[in-house]
Amino acid sequence: MEGRNLVSWPAILGTLALVVLGLLAWELRWVLLVLFGAVVLAVALDVPVQVLMRRTPLHRPQALVVVVGLLILLGWELGFLLLPELVQQVATLNELLPQLLQRVGAFLSEIRGVGPIGSSLESSGGLSALQPLGSQLLGLAGGAANSSIQVLLMALLALLLCLDPQHHINLLIAATPRFYRPQGRRLLQQCRDALGGWLAGMTISAVSVFLLTWAGLAWLQVPLALLSGLVCGLLTFVPTIGPTVATLLPTALALVVSPELSLKVIVLRLILQNGEAFLLTPLLLSRTVNLLPTVALMAQLSLGALLGIPGVLLALPLVVVLQVLLQEVFVKEIMDRWTLSSSKT
């Protein structure tokens, strides 16, 4: 009996420790979210920094300063070129919103089953029905303004991590057992390579979608083509959900002109979306982690329900890292060895 009690105590203490760690992680979830966001930004910065270090005699601090300076200059130039037109298009969208609701309501009222919804949108009560939604959006904007400190802190942490990644890696490795440190170092490098490859591929894919959507909508003479193209490009970082939601804006704006134009917009977005999903993204991400659509969608829904919009944005980078860890640790070091040992017995 005493032997059994002695054997069971470590298991009980280990379970209690895991519960305490889980509760502590939940209480500090926003701190951990900022930290993981900083890691993602640091990896995104580290990709061009390493390219610059390989091709020039610059050391890491000088290369980081050059990359950050180029990003600031590029953002300034793009803002100078595109921001005035974007502001004007947002103001135009405000003016077009009542007409847009009426057109959408008239279109829906002709469809069996959703006629009452279309009639309510078409009537003047449709705008009053949107007032609670408007209040929620204002509250969301206020929350986004209050989170500016978190964004600045995330950027500062990312710069510090990118400035000296080796010492931070050594700190993590020191927390592992001695016999596992070489494997842990290799595992961290694999996570970094997978995350960096995913970020680079998705960035190229999002820029391509933005430019092609903008050009296509401008060619079709759809109102607010730049704004719609920018929304479609940004939502490319949210696969499965993002492209579908992004299509709603240009389709609705085209409906203000004519139903035929909205149909052309849907065809254009289907071509671009399928080209990006089945040609461009697999080509760009062929050397990194291949995410299953079901896994990506469930991760976005789960983290979105727990953490809101930041959880949706960081769901896929987290899945990229977890997929590498599961493949290398759970599958290769636990399940494969278990299968091998059971087959020998």
Q: Give the per-residue pLDDT at 342.
A: 63
Supply the pLDDT for residue 147.
64
Cα–Cα distance between 184 and 174 in angstroms, integer? 10
Determine the Cα–Cα distance for residues 239 and 293; give it in Å rounded to an integer.
8
- Of 126, 206, 199, 192, nearest in space to 161 by CA: 192
pLDDT at res. 310? 79
Instruction: Please tell me the distance from the alpha carbon of residue 256 to that of residue 113, in angstroms, as a whole number.
Output: 23
Q: What pLDDT was estimated at residue 237?
A: 82
Nearest CA among 226, 202, 160, 212 for reference residue 313: 202
pLDDT in tens, the chain (345 residues): 444 554 566 667 777 877 888 788 778 788 888 888 899 999 989 989 998 999 988 899 999 999 999 999 988 888 887 778 777 877 777 777 776 667 666 666 666 555 454 455 455 444 444 444 444 444 444 454 456 777 888 889 999 999 989 888 888 888 888 888 888 889 988 888 888 888 888 888 889 999 999 999 999 998 888 888 888 888 888 777 788 888 888 888 888 788 888 899 999 999 988 888 777 777 777 666 667 777 777 888 888 888 777 788 888 888 888 888 888 887 777 777 776 666 666
What's residue 257's pLDDT? 81
The rounded distance, in Å, linking the Cα atoms of 340 and 345 is 9
Q: Residue 56 carries which DSSP code?
A: S
Q: Give 229: exposed, middle or buried? Use CB within 10 Å, 0-12, 13-18, 19+.
A: buried
Which candidate, 144, 135, 165, places its Cα nearest to that of 44? 165
Write down the pLDDT at residue 181: 85
What is the longest distance spanned by two Cα atoms in the chain?
A: 82
Cβ(270)–Cβ(250) under 8 Å?
Answer: no
Question: Which ranges of the chain would DSSP assign to H, the alpha helix?
Answer: 2-27, 29-55, 60-109, 115-122, 125-129, 131-146, 148-163, 165-174, 181-219, 225-234, 242-257, 259-275, 281-284, 293-307, 309-325, 336-344
